[in-house]
């Protein structure tokens, strides 16, 4: 504590006053902590401790006024108090509120233990601005995982808080609060309808966002404590079919809601059958006419899809002595999973029912499905199940795509200067098309390796040809890619050859245009517009049989002109000297063959 000590000679009256103030502070600390922190010191002992301190101050400020100790102004922020009413454990994480201090601190620090304040260790939670008075610990689950806490351990957490000023002085005492994740509410509205060979349970769904499942309990007497859990069902469901029953037995059912913290609610109210017969003594179940069949169809839907639409259709209506009142349809996956959240019960007049939720394909995994349908009469009698054949969803494959090679100009595949120009026949129906893909190989479709183009449309110029590091002669492959994530069965293919420009057999014309210059012309050959030509090189020599290359020491390189130029004047020649000229075409990807000597 920053207690001011007087200079010698010792002023015992001043010491007595300070001794009294220290005792007051110790009494306050004892009251706040419940620990007896007060120390009994004689005046002489306390005076000696003051004199032995390193503080040199006469206990007065510059105006001669006495300096009184204040735990806030002297660097100790006041104790923070949690708001016990509004702090709570939400469905997934703690939410904290506290009372603002009279003097706003620099920040607040939250920890899960009252030790090592300021350390960013495993017990550190976060720093919060001194302007705020609440905190939502949204990363609680991540923290609990890092601590290896079990579902039971993470249900309850104790949190401590201190205020911190700009000099990193902490509150002397930390306040704490213990929060517990509440169990889900008790499910309501549980009912069940007795059926032959099955009891159908229904209830009202809970609203908790961290709900994990419902537990189903059953007994043959009205005793939830002695009941047996017979099944778990997803939090998404609010129905359950109990098929492991004896029609002559009366059953009692309860359910519990369980969250992701493994908190379980209390038992719901009991649901039981109060009647001993189905209705009016009617025990005759509906029947299916001979030869009745059930057909299941599945159609994939959406982008890339792992979902599809199913339709179950039966070829004839069931018959009953009192009349069929409803049909019930179930869709089963791989003999184990009812993919519907609820059994689909439809009206008596329906002969077909549809739904969604079929997973068609995921990666290399394919799925199989079959349907069941049963008929009910007014008394609740149920027919035998009508079962469909097993169906494996088939994802549509786009039609094959072909490159266009018949025609001319930009309507066909060709080279334009140094770049390939690709044209293909677009699909007649592009409603399910995601894009076209062009590759340099008929392998690894979907990979970016050797990918030339991905998109829609029917034409594309490959402008990044140099980056691909390709040769002049190249094959291209194209496939259509559907919204279902499937490719054309066979790739379209085209081979383009940019060719090597050659002026073999062509002789440029040469004419003197001045005392020391010659005009060389090859316009006739250049007018062909050869796409493979990047530019022309002009060479000359006094040797009639020279070769237009640096390997011929008699050859003189004059320079280059653009590919669309067909005439050039060579100046600076010697008078009374015979010169011979050659034009050499330079291709985009390779040098061409030189012309004859002109």
Predicted pLDDT of residue 452:
77
N-to-C CA span, the chain: 106
Residue 153 has pLDDT above 80, yes or no: yes
Q: At what angle do helices 12-33 and 43-51 cross, to 10 degrees?
A: 100
Structure tokens at 553: 């020491």
| 367 contacts: CB under 8 Å, gap ≥ 6 | 333, 334, 358, 359, 360, 361, 392, 393
Dihedral angle of Cα 147, 153, 155, 157, to the nearest 10 degrees? -60
Structure tokens at 526: 């250049």
Predicted pLDDT of residue 52:
41
Query: What mean pLDDT is predicted for residues 541-560?
Result: 86
At 284, the pLDDT band (50, 70, 90 cuts) reads confident
Q: Where are the domains of the chain?
A: 88-180, 188-272, 294-387, 409-497, 509-587
Query: What mean pLDDT is predicted for residues 520-528?
Result: 69
Q: How far apart are CA 159 and CA 79, in angstroms?
A: 15
Predicted pLDDT of residue 30:
60
Do strands 94-97 and 134-136 pair parallel, antiparallel, or not at all (unpaired)? antiparallel
Question: In CATH, what is the architecture of 409-497?
Answer: Sandwich (2.60)
Is-same-fold flag (88-180; 294-387)?
Answer: yes
Q: What is the DSSP string of 108-163?
A: EEEESSSS-TT--STTEEEEEETT--EEE-TTHHHHHHHTT--TTGGGEEEEEEEE
Peptide bond into 223 cis (omega under 30): no
Predicted pLDDT of residue 124:
92
Residue 217 has pLDDT above 90, yes or no: yes
Predicted pLDDT of residue 72:
41
Cβ-contact 135, 98 below 8 angstroms: no
Classify residue 383 by burial, with Cβ atoms within 10 Å: 0-12, 13-18, 19+: buried
Question: Which among 393, 400, 299, 392 is positioned nearest to 354, based on CA atoms?
Answer: 299
Query: What mean pLDDT is predicted for residues 197-202?
Result: 80
Predicted pLDDT of residue 14:
46
Question: Which among 353, 361, 341 is positioned nearest to 388, based on CA atoms?
Answer: 353
At 549, the pLDDT band (50, 70, 90 cuts) reads confident
Q: What is the per-residue burial (b if ≥16 Cβ within 10 Å, else e) of 515-549?
A: eeebebbbeebbeeebbbbbbbbbbbbeeeebebe
3-state SS, residue 492: strand
Query: What mean pLDDT is predicted for residues 470-499?
Result: 78
pTM: 0.39
Classify residue 373 by burial, with Cβ atoms within 10 Å: 0-12, 13-18, 19+: buried
Predicted pLDDT of residue 267:
92
**Of 102 and 362, which is predicted with more confidence?**
102
Cβ-contact 33, 26 below 8 angstroms: no
Structure tokens at 75: 């660097």
DSSP code for 558: E
Mean pLDDT of the residues in the chain? 76
Question: In CATH, what is the architecture of 509-587?
Answer: Sandwich (2.60)
At 13, the pLDDT band (50, 70, 90 cuts) reads very low
Predicted pLDDT of residue 157:
86
Residue 286 has pLDDT above 70, yes or no: yes
**Could you count the other beta carbons within 10 Å of the beta carbon of residue 423?**
19
Predicted pLDDT of residue 9:
37
> Which is it for the CA torsion 433, 434, 440, 446, positive or negative?
negative
Q: How far apart are CA 495 and CA 53, in angstroms?
A: 95
Domain 188-272 bears CATH identifier 3.40.718.10: no
Cβ-contact 428, 394 below 8 angstroms: no
Q: Select, from the ranges 99-113, 269-283, 428-442, 484-498, the one with the highest average predicted confidence (pLDDT).
A: 99-113
**Could you count the other beta carbons within 10 Å of the beta carbon of residue 369?**
23
Predicted pLDDT of residue 184:
86
Residue 8 has pLDDT above 50, yes or no: no
Q: How far apart are CA 188 and CA 268, in angstroms?
A: 6
Residue 81 has pLDDT above 50, yes or no: yes
Predicted pLDDT of residue 470:
63
Question: In CATH, what is the architecture of 294-387?
Answer: Sandwich (2.60)
Domain 88-180 bears CATH identifier 2.60.40.10: yes
Range of lowest pLDDT (24-28, 553-557, 589-593): 24-28
Predicted pLDDT of residue 357:
67
**Of 205 and 279, which is predicted with more confidence?**
205
| 544 contacts: CB under 8 Å, gap ≥ 6 | 580, 597
Query: Tokens 């494996």 appear where?
Result: 392
**Of 146 and 31, which is predicted with more confidence?**
146
- E strand or H helix at 298, and its extent? strand 294-301
Residue 55 has pLDDT above 50, yes or no: no
Residue 10 has pLDDT above 60, yes or no: no
Q: Select, from the ranges 65-79, 189-203, 296-310, the one with the highest average predicted confidence (pLDDT).
A: 189-203
Point out which residues pair with 475 in neighbouring strands: 495
Point out which residues pair with 252 in neighbouring strands: 219, 272
Q: What is the pLDDT of residues 256-280, one digit of tens each?
A: 998 877 888 899 988 886 443 444 4
DSSP code for 556: E
Structure tokens at 121: 């260790």
Question: Which among 383, 277, 249 is positioned nearest to 324, based on CA atoms?
Answer: 383
Predicted pLDDT of residue 339:
43
Residue 120 has pLDDT above 90, yes or no: no
């Amino acid at each position: 504590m920053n207690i001011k000590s007087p200079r010698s000679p010792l002023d015992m009256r001043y010491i007595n006053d300070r001794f009294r103030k220290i005792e007051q502070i110790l009494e306050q600390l004892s009251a706040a902590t419940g620990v007896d922190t007060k120390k009994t010191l004689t005046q002489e002992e306390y005076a000696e401790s003051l004199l032995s301190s390193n503080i040199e101050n006469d206990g007065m400020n510059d105006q001669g006024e006495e300096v009184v100790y204040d735990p806030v102004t002297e660097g100790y922020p006041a104790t923070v108090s949690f708001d016990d009413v509004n702090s709570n454990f939400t469905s997934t994480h703690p939410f904290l509120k506290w009372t603002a201090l009279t003097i706003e601190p620099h920040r607040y620090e939250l920890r899960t233990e009252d030790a090592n304040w300021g350390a960013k260790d495993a017990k550190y939670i976060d720093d919060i601005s001194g302007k705020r008075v609440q905190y939502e610990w949204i990363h609680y689950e991540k923290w609990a995982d890092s601590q290896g806490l079990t579902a039971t351990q993470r249900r309850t957490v104790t949190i401590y808080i201190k205020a911190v000023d700009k000099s990193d002085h902490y509150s002397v005492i930390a306040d704490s609060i213990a929060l517990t994740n509440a169990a889900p509410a008790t499910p309501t509205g549980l009912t069940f309808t007795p059926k032959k060979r099955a009891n159908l349970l229904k209830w009202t769904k809970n609203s908790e966002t961290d709900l994990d499942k419902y537990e189903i309990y059953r007994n043959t007497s009205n005793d939830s404590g002695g009941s047996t859990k017979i099944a778990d069902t997803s939090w998404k469901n609010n129905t359950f079919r109990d098929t492991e029953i004896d029609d002559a037995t009366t059953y009692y059912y309860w359910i519990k809601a369980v969250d992701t913290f493994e908190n379980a609610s209390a038992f719901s109210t009991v649901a039981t059958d109060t009647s001993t017969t189905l209705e009016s003594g009617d025990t005759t179940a509906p029947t299916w006419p001979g030869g009745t069949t059930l057909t299941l169809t599945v159609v994939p839907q959406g982008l890339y899809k792992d979902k599809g639409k199913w339709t179950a259709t039966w070829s004839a209506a069931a018959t009953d002595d009192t009349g069929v009142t409803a049909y019930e349809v179930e869709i089963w996956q791989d003999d184990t999973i009812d993919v519907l959240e609820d059994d689909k019960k439809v009206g008596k007049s329906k002969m077909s029912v549809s739904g969604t939720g079929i997973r068609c394909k995921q990666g290399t995994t394919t799925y199989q499905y079959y349907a069941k349908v049963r008929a009910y009469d007014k008394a609740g009698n149920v027919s035998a199940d009508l079962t469909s054949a097993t169906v494996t969803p088939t994802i549509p494959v786009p039609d094959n795509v072909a490159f266009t090679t018949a025609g001319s100009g930009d309507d066909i595949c060709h080279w334009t200067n140094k770049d390939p120009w690709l044209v293909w026949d677009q699909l007649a129906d592009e409603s399910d098309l995601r894009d076209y893909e062009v590759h340099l190989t008929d392998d690894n479709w979907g990979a970016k390796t050797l990918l030339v183009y991905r998109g829609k449309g029917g034409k594309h110029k490959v402008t990044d040809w140099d980056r691909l590091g390709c040769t002049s002669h190249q094959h291209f492959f194209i496939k259509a890619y559907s919204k279902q994530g499937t490719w054309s069965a066979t790739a379209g293919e085209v081979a383009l050859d940019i060719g090597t420009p050659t002026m073999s057999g062509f002789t440029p014309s040469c004419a003197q245009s001045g005392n020391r210059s010659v005009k060389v012309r090859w316009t006739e050959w250049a007018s062909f517009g050869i796409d493979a030509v990047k530019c022309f090189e002009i060479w000359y020599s006094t040797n009639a049989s020279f070769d237009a290359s640096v390997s011929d020491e008699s050859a003189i390189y004059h320079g280059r002109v653009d590919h669309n130029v067909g005439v050039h004047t060579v100046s600076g020649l010697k008078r009374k000297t015979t010169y011979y000229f050659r034009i050499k075409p330079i291709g985009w990807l390779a040098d061409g063959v030189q012309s004859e000597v002109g």
